[in-house]
A and B are shown apart, each in its own frame.
Chain A
Amino acid sequence: MTHRTRNLLPVFAFLAAAFLFFPLGTPAQTSSAQSSTSAHGERWLHVRVISTTSKGETVRVNVPLELAEKVLPAIDHDRLHNGKVRIGCMDCDGVDVRTIFEAVRSSKDGEFVTVQSNETDISVMKKEGMLFVHVHEKNKPKHSQVEVKVPMKVVEALLSGSKDELDITAGLRALASQGDVELVSVKDDENTVRVWLDSKNVTID
Chain B
Amino acid sequence: MVLLAKIALGFGATVLLAGAYTFRQGLIRVDVDETRGEEHHVHVWAPAAIVPMAMHFVVPRGRMLDAEERSAKFMPLVHAVAKELQKYPEAELVEVHDGEQYVRVRTHDGNLLIDASEPGQTVHVSCPLATIDDVSRELAALAPAS
Contact of A21 among B10, B24, B76 (CB under 8 A): B24
Q: How large is the interface on A (under 10, 10 to 19, 20 to 34, 35 or more residues)?
A: 35 or more
Q: How far is the CA of A29 from the CA of B73 in the complex (A)?
A: 35
**Nearest CB in chain B: distance from A197 CB, A:** 16
Q: How far is the CA of A29 from the CA of B95 in the complex (A)?
A: 22
B88-132 CB mask vs A (1 if < 8 Å, else 0) is 111111111111000000001110000000000000000000000
- Verify if A100 is at the interface (C-beta below 8 Å from B): no
- Verify if B80 is at the interface (C-beta below 8 Å from A): yes
Cβ–Cβ < 8 Å partners of A7 in chain B: 6
- Verify if B45 is at the interface (C-beta below 8 Å from A): no
Contact of A14 among B16, B26, B87, B92 (CB under 8 A): B16
Across the interface, do B85 and A56 meet the contact criterion of CB distance under 8 Å? no
User: Which residue on B lies nearest to A61, using beta carbons?
Assistant: B94
B61-94 CB mask vs A (1 if < 8 Å, else 0) is 0000000000001001101110111011111111
Across the interface, do A18 and B80 meet the contact criterion of CB distance under 8 Å? no
A60 in contact with B77 given A18-B20, A32-B90 (CB within 8 Å): no
User: Which residue on B lies nearest to A15, using beta carbons?
Assistant: B13
Cβ–Cβ < 8 Å partners of B77 in chain A: 71, 74-75
Across the interface, do A55 and B84 meet the contact criterion of CB distance under 8 Å? no
Across the interface, do A59 and B96 meet the contact criterion of CB distance under 8 Å? yes
Across the interface, do B88 and A10 meet the contact criterion of CB distance under 8 Å? no
Cβ–Cβ < 8 Å partners of B91 in chain A: 62, 64, 201
In the complex, which residues 143-164 of chain A have their Cβ closer than 8 Å to any Cβ of chain B? none
Across the interface, do B90 and A71 meet the contact criterion of CB distance under 8 Å? no
Cβ–Cβ < 8 Å partners of A89 in chain B: none
Across the interface, do A28 and B89 meet the contact criterion of CB distance under 8 Å? yes
Q: How far is the CA of A35 from the CA of B80 in the complex (A)?
A: 25
User: Which residue on A lies nearest to B89, using beta carbons?
Assistant: A28
Across the interface, do B93 and A32 meet the contact criterion of CB distance under 8 Å? no
Across the interface, do A31 and B90 meet the contact criterion of CB distance under 8 Å? yes
A15-57 CB mask vs B (1 if < 8 Å, else 0) is 0011001101100110110110010000000000000000111
Cβ–Cβ < 8 Å partners of A24 in chain B: 24
Cβ–Cβ < 8 Å partners of B79 in chain A: 74
Across the interface, do A58 and B13 meet the contact criterion of CB distance under 8 Å? no
Across the interface, do B24 and A25 meet the contact criterion of CB distance under 8 Å? yes
Contact of B80 among A14, A58, A64, A70 (CB under 8 A): A70
- Verify if A192 is at the interface (C-beta below 8 Å from B): no
Q: How far is the CA of A29 from the CA of B108 in the complex (A)?
A: 9
Across the interface, do B17 and A58 meet the contact criterion of CB distance under 8 Å? no
In the complex, which residues 56-97 of chain A have their Cβ closer than 8 Å to any Cβ of chain B? 56-64, 66-67, 70-71, 73-76
**Nearest CB in chain A: distance from B11 CB, A:** 10
Contact of A74 among B10, B26, B80 (CB under 8 A): B80
Q: How far is the CA of A29 from the CA of B110 in the complex (A)?
A: 10
Please list the residues of chain B having a beta carbon within 8 angstroms of any beta carbon in chain A. Answer: 6, 9-10, 13, 16-17, 20-21, 23-24, 26, 73, 76-77, 79-81, 83-85, 87-99, 108-110
Q: Give 14 CB contacts A-B under 8 Å.
A: A10-B10, A13-B13, A14-B13, A21-B17, A21-B24, A25-B23, A25-B109, A31-B90, A61-B93, A61-B94, A64-B87, A66-B87, A76-B73, A201-B91
- Which 7 pairs between the two chains have the least Cβ-Cβ distance? A28-B109, A14-B13, A74-B80, A55-B99, A60-B95, A67-B84, A58-B97
